[in-house]
Amino acid sequence: MEIVAETHCHTCACDHAFSTLYENVRYAAKIGMPFLCITEHAPAMADGPHEWFFRNLPKVVPERLDGVVVLRGAEANIMDYDGKLDLSTRALERLDWVIASYHTVCIQPSTEEDHTRGWLAIAENPLVDVIGHCGDARYPFDMETVMRAFAQNGKIVEINAHSFSARPGSRERCREVALACKRQGVRIVCSSDAHFFTEIGQVGPALEMLREIDFPEELVLNTDYDRFLAVAREKSGRRLIETESER
Ligand SMILES: [Zn+2]
Ligand SMILES: [Zn+2]
Protein backbone atom coordinates (compact mmCIF):
# COMPACT_ATOMS: atom_id res chain seq x y z
CA MET A 1 0.00 0.00 0.00
CA GLU A 2 1.10 3.52 -0.85
CA ILE A 3 -0.93 6.67 -0.64
CA VAL A 4 -2.19 8.70 -3.61
CA ALA A 5 -3.44 11.61 -1.51
CA GLU A 6 -1.96 13.58 1.34
CA THR A 7 -5.13 14.41 3.28
CA HIS A 8 -3.69 16.63 6.02
CA CYS A 9 -0.96 19.25 5.69
CA HIS A 10 -0.14 22.72 6.93
CA THR A 11 1.49 25.79 5.39
CA CYS A 12 3.24 28.89 6.71
CA ALA A 13 -0.18 30.56 6.87
CA CYS A 14 0.20 29.40 10.49
CA ASP A 15 3.50 30.29 12.08
CA HIS A 16 4.42 26.84 13.38
CA ALA A 17 4.57 25.38 9.84
CA PHE A 18 7.28 26.33 7.41
CA SER A 19 6.41 25.81 3.74
CA THR A 20 4.21 27.79 1.41
CA LEU A 21 1.11 26.26 -0.12
CA TYR A 22 2.84 26.21 -3.51
CA GLU A 23 5.98 24.55 -2.10
CA ASN A 24 3.69 21.81 -0.79
CA VAL A 25 2.01 21.45 -4.20
CA ARG A 26 5.33 21.37 -6.06
CA TYR A 27 6.65 18.69 -3.73
CA ALA A 28 3.47 16.62 -4.20
CA ALA A 29 3.97 16.92 -7.97
CA LYS A 30 7.64 15.92 -7.62
CA ILE A 31 6.89 12.73 -5.66
CA GLY A 32 3.95 11.84 -7.93
CA MET A 33 1.19 12.44 -5.36
CA PRO A 34 -1.97 13.08 -7.42
CA PHE A 35 -4.06 14.72 -4.66
CA LEU A 36 -3.16 17.20 -1.91
CA CYS A 37 -5.53 18.51 0.79
CA ILE A 38 -4.55 21.88 2.26
CA THR A 39 -5.90 21.78 5.81
CA GLU A 40 -4.70 24.83 7.69
CA HIS A 41 -5.36 25.25 11.40
CA ALA A 42 -8.49 27.35 11.84
CA PRO A 43 -8.50 30.73 13.66
CA ALA A 44 -8.80 29.59 17.30
CA MET A 45 -5.24 28.22 17.18
CA ALA A 46 -3.11 31.12 18.43
CA ASP A 47 -1.16 31.40 15.17
CA GLY A 48 -3.89 30.18 12.82
CA PRO A 49 -4.95 32.48 9.96
CA HIS A 50 -8.12 34.58 10.06
CA GLU A 51 -11.51 33.31 8.89
CA TRP A 52 -10.93 35.28 5.65
CA PHE A 53 -8.09 32.92 4.69
CA PHE A 54 -10.62 30.06 4.56
CA ARG A 55 -13.23 32.06 2.69
CA ASN A 56 -10.71 33.20 0.11
CA LEU A 57 -8.81 29.90 -0.30
CA PRO A 58 -11.31 28.20 -2.66
CA LYS A 59 -11.77 31.43 -4.59
CA VAL A 60 -8.13 32.12 -5.37
CA VAL A 61 -6.26 28.81 -5.30
CA PRO A 62 -6.96 26.71 -8.43
CA GLU A 63 -8.25 23.18 -7.99
CA ARG A 64 -5.39 21.87 -10.14
CA LEU A 65 -1.81 23.10 -9.93
CA ASP A 66 1.21 21.50 -11.59
CA GLY A 67 -0.96 18.44 -12.31
CA VAL A 68 -1.93 18.00 -8.64
CA VAL A 69 -5.59 18.11 -7.62
CA VAL A 70 -5.69 20.55 -4.70
CA LEU A 71 -8.50 20.18 -2.18
CA ARG A 72 -8.95 23.52 -0.42
CA GLY A 73 -9.76 22.62 3.18
CA ALA A 74 -9.27 23.33 6.85
CA GLU A 75 -8.48 21.66 10.13
CA ALA A 76 -11.22 23.18 12.27
CA ASN A 77 -10.83 23.26 16.04
CA ILE A 78 -13.52 21.69 18.20
CA MET A 79 -14.13 24.37 20.82
CA ASP A 80 -16.54 22.72 23.26
CA TYR A 81 -18.06 19.32 23.96
CA ASP A 82 -21.25 20.30 22.13
CA GLY A 83 -19.25 20.24 18.88
CA LYS A 84 -18.80 23.98 18.29
CA LEU A 85 -16.23 24.75 15.56
CA ASP A 86 -14.12 27.87 15.03
CA LEU A 87 -15.15 28.56 11.42
CA SER A 88 -18.45 29.96 10.18
CA THR A 89 -20.93 27.85 8.25
CA ARG A 90 -20.32 30.18 5.32
CA ALA A 91 -16.62 29.28 5.27
CA LEU A 92 -17.09 25.57 6.00
CA GLU A 93 -19.66 24.97 3.28
CA ARG A 94 -17.37 26.32 0.56
CA LEU A 95 -14.36 24.22 1.55
CA ASP A 96 -13.59 20.92 -0.17
CA TRP A 97 -12.19 18.94 2.76
CA VAL A 98 -12.93 19.73 6.40
CA ILE A 99 -11.16 17.98 9.26
CA ALA A 100 -12.35 18.55 12.85
CA SER A 101 -9.89 17.93 15.69
CA TYR A 102 -9.41 18.29 19.41
CA HIS A 103 -6.27 20.31 20.23
CA THR A 104 -5.24 20.91 23.84
CA VAL A 105 -4.56 24.61 23.13
CA CYS A 106 -8.21 25.07 22.13
CA ILE A 107 -10.04 22.61 24.38
CA GLN A 108 -8.76 21.03 27.56
CA PRO A 109 -9.14 17.25 27.84
CA SER A 110 -12.10 16.39 30.08
CA THR A 111 -14.00 13.21 30.92
CA GLU A 112 -14.61 10.25 28.63
CA GLU A 113 -18.31 11.23 28.65
CA ASP A 114 -17.49 14.73 27.42
CA HIS A 115 -15.12 13.54 24.66
CA THR A 116 -17.81 11.09 23.54
CA ARG A 117 -20.49 13.78 23.52
CA GLY A 118 -18.23 16.05 21.45
CA TRP A 119 -17.54 13.38 18.81
CA LEU A 120 -21.23 12.46 18.62
CA ALA A 121 -22.05 16.11 17.92
CA ILE A 122 -19.34 16.27 15.23
CA ALA A 123 -20.70 13.04 13.70
CA GLU A 124 -24.02 14.84 13.17
CA ASN A 125 -22.43 17.91 11.55
CA PRO A 126 -22.78 17.59 7.76
CA LEU A 127 -20.03 20.19 7.18
CA VAL A 128 -17.34 17.94 8.69
CA ASP A 129 -15.76 15.36 6.37
CA VAL A 130 -12.89 13.91 8.39
CA ILE A 131 -12.35 13.10 12.06
CA GLY A 132 -8.90 14.45 12.95
CA HIS A 133 -6.43 12.32 14.96
CA CYS A 134 -9.03 10.79 17.31
CA GLY A 135 -6.34 8.33 18.40
CA ASP A 136 -4.96 11.09 20.63
CA ALA A 137 -4.79 9.22 23.95
CA ARG A 138 -5.46 12.40 25.92
CA TYR A 139 -9.07 12.38 24.68
CA PRO A 140 -10.43 8.87 25.39
CA PHE A 141 -14.03 8.23 24.31
CA ASP A 142 -16.58 5.43 24.07
CA MET A 143 -15.09 3.72 21.02
CA GLU A 144 -17.97 1.59 19.79
CA THR A 145 -20.69 4.24 20.28
CA VAL A 146 -18.68 6.93 18.52
CA MET A 147 -17.46 4.72 15.67
CA ARG A 148 -21.02 3.55 15.02
CA ALA A 149 -22.08 7.20 14.73
CA PHE A 150 -19.16 7.95 12.36
CA ALA A 151 -20.14 4.95 10.20
CA GLN A 152 -23.82 5.96 10.12
CA ASN A 153 -22.94 9.53 9.13
CA GLY A 154 -20.32 8.66 6.50
CA LYS A 155 -17.48 10.29 8.40
CA ILE A 156 -13.91 9.44 7.43
CA VAL A 157 -11.54 8.65 10.30
CA GLU A 158 -7.97 9.84 9.95
CA ILE A 159 -5.07 7.66 11.08
CA ASN A 160 -2.54 10.40 11.70
CA ALA A 161 1.05 9.15 11.39
CA HIS A 162 2.28 12.25 13.22
CA SER A 163 0.33 11.12 16.32
CA PHE A 164 2.54 8.04 16.57
CA SER A 165 5.49 10.18 17.61
CA ALA A 166 3.96 13.50 18.71
CA ARG A 167 0.98 12.62 20.86
CA PRO A 168 1.85 10.72 24.06
CA GLY A 169 0.51 7.16 24.27
CA SER A 170 -1.21 7.44 20.92
CA ARG A 171 0.41 4.56 19.02
CA GLU A 172 -1.62 1.95 20.92
CA ARG A 173 -4.73 4.13 20.85
CA CYS A 174 -4.48 4.57 17.05
CA ARG A 175 -4.40 0.80 16.73
CA GLU A 176 -7.58 0.56 18.83
CA VAL A 177 -9.19 3.20 16.62
CA ALA A 178 -8.26 1.25 13.47
CA LEU A 179 -9.58 -2.00 14.94
CA ALA A 180 -12.88 -0.30 15.79
CA CYS A 181 -13.08 1.12 12.22
CA LYS A 182 -12.53 -2.39 10.90
CA ARG A 183 -15.35 -3.77 13.11
CA GLN A 184 -17.79 -0.99 12.23
CA GLY A 185 -16.86 -0.58 8.55
CA VAL A 186 -15.70 3.03 8.95
CA ARG A 187 -13.72 4.46 6.01
CA ILE A 188 -10.29 5.82 6.88
CA VAL A 189 -7.42 7.84 5.43
CA CYS A 190 -3.75 7.84 6.49
CA SER A 191 -2.19 11.28 6.74
CA SER A 192 1.15 12.80 7.69
CA ASP A 193 -0.07 16.10 9.21
CA ALA A 194 2.96 17.68 7.49
CA HIS A 195 4.23 21.00 8.86
CA PHE A 196 7.09 21.10 6.28
CA PHE A 197 6.98 19.99 2.67
CA THR A 198 9.37 17.06 3.09
CA GLU A 199 6.89 15.39 5.47
CA ILE A 200 4.17 15.12 2.81
CA GLY A 201 3.25 11.49 2.20
CA GLN A 202 5.24 10.22 5.20
CA VAL A 203 2.67 7.77 6.60
CA GLY A 204 4.79 4.62 6.84
CA PRO A 205 4.09 3.83 10.52
CA ALA A 206 0.33 4.13 9.96
CA LEU A 207 0.35 1.80 6.95
CA GLU A 208 2.54 -0.66 8.85
CA MET A 209 0.05 -0.74 11.73
CA LEU A 210 -2.83 -1.33 9.27
CA ARG A 211 -0.95 -4.28 7.78
CA GLU A 212 -0.36 -5.73 11.26
CA ILE A 213 -4.09 -5.77 11.99
CA ASP A 214 -5.04 -6.95 8.48
CA PHE A 215 -7.15 -3.85 7.86
CA PRO A 216 -9.45 -4.18 4.81
CA GLU A 217 -7.87 -2.19 1.99
CA GLU A 218 -11.22 -1.16 0.46
CA LEU A 219 -11.85 0.97 3.55
CA VAL A 220 -8.57 2.89 3.12
CA LEU A 221 -9.65 5.73 0.83
CA ASN A 222 -6.28 7.23 -0.04
CA THR A 223 -4.36 4.17 -1.23
CA ASP A 224 -6.20 3.92 -4.55
CA TYR A 225 -6.63 6.61 -7.23
CA ASP A 226 -10.24 5.84 -8.16
CA ARG A 227 -11.32 5.35 -4.57
CA PHE A 228 -9.89 8.71 -3.57
CA LEU A 229 -11.20 10.52 -6.65
CA ALA A 230 -14.71 9.27 -5.82
CA VAL A 231 -14.57 10.56 -2.24
CA ALA A 232 -12.91 13.82 -3.29
CA ARG A 233 -15.78 14.38 -5.74
CA GLU A 234 -18.32 13.50 -3.04
CA LYS A 235 -16.80 15.93 -0.54
CA SER A 236 -15.97 18.82 -2.89
CA GLY A 237 -19.08 18.52 -5.07
CA ARG A 238 -16.87 19.03 -8.12
CA ARG A 239 -15.61 16.82 -10.98
CA LEU A 240 -11.93 17.65 -10.29
CA ILE A 241 -10.69 15.81 -13.36
CA GLU A 242 -12.55 15.51 -16.65
CA THR A 243 -10.51 13.23 -18.88
CA GLU A 244 -8.22 10.24 -18.55
CA SER A 245 -5.29 12.34 -19.76
CA GLU A 246 -5.57 14.59 -16.70
CA ARG A 247 -4.67 11.74 -14.36
ZN1 LIG B 1 -0.01 22.22 13.66
ZN1 LIG C 1 -4.27 18.57 14.38
- State the Cα angle at 146 between 141 and 151, rounded to 5°: 150
| Cα 106 to ligand 1 centre (Å) | 12
| Cα 17 to ligand 1 centre (Å) | 7
CATH fit for domain 5-237, picks 1.10.540.10, 3.30.230.10, 3.20.20.140, 3.30.565.60: 3.20.20.140
For the chain, what is the mean pLDDT?
A: 96
pTM of the full structure: 0.97
| Cα 11 to ligand 1 centre (Å) | 9
| Cα 2 to ligand 1 centre (Å) | 24
| Cα 24 to ligand 1 centre (Å) | 15
The long-range contacts involving 43-49, CB below 8 angstroms and separated by at least 24 positions, are 43/86, 43/87, 44/77, 44/79, 44/86, 44/106, 45/14, 45/77, 45/103, 45/105, 45/106, 46/105, 47/14, 47/15, 47/16, 48/13, 48/14, 48/77, 49/13, 49/14
Q: What region does 169 belong to: left with phi over 0, alpha with psi -120 to 50, or beta? A: left
| Cα 244 to ligand 1 centre (Å) | 35
Q: What is the pLDDT of residues 185-198, one digit of tens each?
A: 999 999 999 999 99
* 57 confidence band (pLDDT: 50, 70, 90): very high
Q: Where are the domains of the chain?
A: 5-237
